[in-house]
Copies of this chain bind each other. A is one copy, B any other.
Amino acid sequence: MQHPVIPALASLVGPAYVLTDPAATARYTTDWRRNFPGAALAVVRPGSTEEVARVVAACAEHRIALVAQGGNTGLVGGSTPDDSGTEVVLSLDRMTAVRRVDPLDNSMTLEAGCTVLAAQEVAAAAGRLFPLSLASEGSATVGGVVSTNAGGEQVLRYGNTRDLTLGLEVVLPDGRVLQALTALRKDNTGYDLKQLFIGSEGTLGIVTAATFKLFAPPRKVVTAWAALRDPQAAVGLLARLTEVVGERVTAFELIGREALSQVLAHATPGMRDPLATPCDWMVLFDVSETSAVLDPAPAVEAVLGDAMEAGEVLDAVVAASGRQAHELWALREHVPEAQRLHGASIKHDISVAVSRIPEFIETAGAALRARFPGIRIVCFGHVGDGNLHYNQSAPEGMPEADFRAQEEAVHEVVHGVTARLQGSISAEHGIGRLKQAALLQHKQPLALELMARIKRAIDPANTFNPGRLLPPDLH
């Protein structure tokens, strides 16, 4: 028998936008990595903030759990329903309006269902830069990146989504709408409530629209690929660059040999090692200049020259064209896909202070190799933010099942080293359902208690994304 909330929802948003047929709901009910196959009571697709509010109120009345979903590109199972078939997915995918773009104020307001790519394009059309940039940007939505405080490749210069967010419109668990869509750069009238909803993974409110900062667009980007003596040289090169070109360093990505080897083993046409002599550690970086009249290229070349003279950089190439820059970045962006093609892998998304990156790589690598002989370490990521995607592939010839059986033990080693270095076990992917055990193990109990107190204060009935982020028994 049909749950009575279904016709209620249909009357609120129109029957076409309440999906219950598993063929129609499938793309909403299982996460992108297919780690969490789920089932939904219904998938509801409201078309306006008012409809979202009514859907939330109706579900609150029936005490039905709501899972908000954007582009369903999350990596931790935070935005898909569990397999009980009792949760309703609230998809924001119809809310794609651009409400306002103000180039003079350097801000824009978009509805939650706009993709990050669309947001970039809206800004560019107004002669501005929306700097959030991540692999999933064609599908990931504005509401999703706010709810997860997404990072990506330009955090070093422009910050995380939190730093880019000026204001929010949020539907609360009782269906009321918090109007905080301000574009103000300064507003000290009480607690900054939007901070509660940024990065809380849909557990406190449903973001229906956001106002973002915009920036002057880059006029010139210098892209370079350098072979390094060791990871310490990566931190050293970043410091040298900052010394000479200031905050123009926009992206600074470390790439370990195993990562590049996997990319080259699964290369698409045109991909090749940019340098003649293979080495263990490389960086790819962008220095971008927003001034139309200043050129940082000679300064970047001078820095590379100095670092080579000091023996920290072994070889380097500066992209001579936009196409060559694109080819260098394609190598970096192909790493996750190459790793997928390469077989089973165990993944981590850790961060430490930038200055401790070399110590992390040294210590974690030694600990893993001692305990799991032959394990292959695929290390790459946003070293300028202290954030590494520090993944492992099976030793040559080990069956996948044997490797998988070691997953928890591998996590334990990597997260243990991370914790000893005061790092984070989830730098940018969040907690969702995937990382709750690690959260419980490594977060200060008092912090967990405060999080639970806030959850109860804002969502006392626990109907917004229950059991995600905060472990179920903490509510």
Contacts and interface: CB of A to CB of B under 8 A. Distances in A.
Interface of A: 102-107, 148-149, 151, 155-156, 159-160, 162-163, 172, 176-180, 182-193, 195-196, 198-200, 204, 215-216, 219, 235, 239, 242-248, 289-294, 296, 298-299, 302, 351-356, 382, 385-387, 422-431, 435, 439, 442-444, 446-448, 450-451, 453-454, 456-458, 469-470
A298 B292 CA distance: 12
Most chain B beta-carbon neighbours within 10 Å: one of A176, A351, A387: A351
A190 B289 contact: no
A437 to B, nearest CB: 12
A448 to B, nearest CB: 7
9 contacts: A102-B355, A184-B386, A185-B386, A186-B385, A186-B387, A189-B442, A190-B451, A191-B454, A248-B291
Contact of A185 (B187, B354, B457): B354
Contact of A105 (B196, B302, B353): B353
A78 to B, nearest CB: 10
A285 to B, nearest CB: 15
Sorted nearest first, the 6 A-B pairs with minimum C-beta distance are A246-B290, A195-B195, A457-B457, A187-B424, A104-B355, A186-B427
Contacts of A450: 172, 178, 191, 193, 196, 458
A293 B193 CA distance: 42
A294 B294 contact: yes
Contacts of A188: 148-149, 151, 199, 424, 426-431
A429 B189 CA distance: 9
Given A102-B355, A192-B198, 20 more contacts: A105-B386, A149-B188, A155-B186, A172-B450, A180-B444, A186-B351, A186-B382, A186-B385, A186-B424, A187-B426, A189-B439, A190-B451, A191-B196, A195-B195, A216-B242, A216-B246, A216-B247, A244-B292, A294-B294, A453-B458
Given A104-B355, A184-B424, A385-B185, A162 B192 contact: yes
Nearest to A148: B188
A163 B160 contact: no
B184 A447 contact: no
A304 B117 CA distance: 36
Nearest to A442: B189
A289 B219 CA distance: 17
A422 B109 CA distance: 14
A190 B453 contact: no
Most chain B beta-carbon neighbours within 10 Å: one of A198, A294, A423, A443: A294
Given A216-B242, A431-B190, A184 B352 contact: yes
Contacts of A199: 188, 191-192
A102 B431 CA distance: 29
A186 B244 contact: no
A444 B178 contact: yes
A246 B292 CA distance: 8
Given A190-B447, A216-B242, A456-B457, A184 B353 contact: yes
Contacts of A355: 102, 104-105
Given A190-B443, A235-B104, A244-B293, A351 B216 contact: no
Contacts of A242: 106, 216
Contacts of A195: 192, 195-196
Contacts of A293: 244, 298-299, 302
A385 B105 CA distance: 9
A235 B106 CA distance: 12
Contacts of A354: 104-106, 185
Contacts of A198: 192
Nearest to A128: B242
A453 B447 contact: no
Given A102-B355, A457-B453, A186 B428 contact: yes
Nearest to A385: B185
Nearest to A382: B186
Contacts of A456: 457
B200 A191 contact: yes
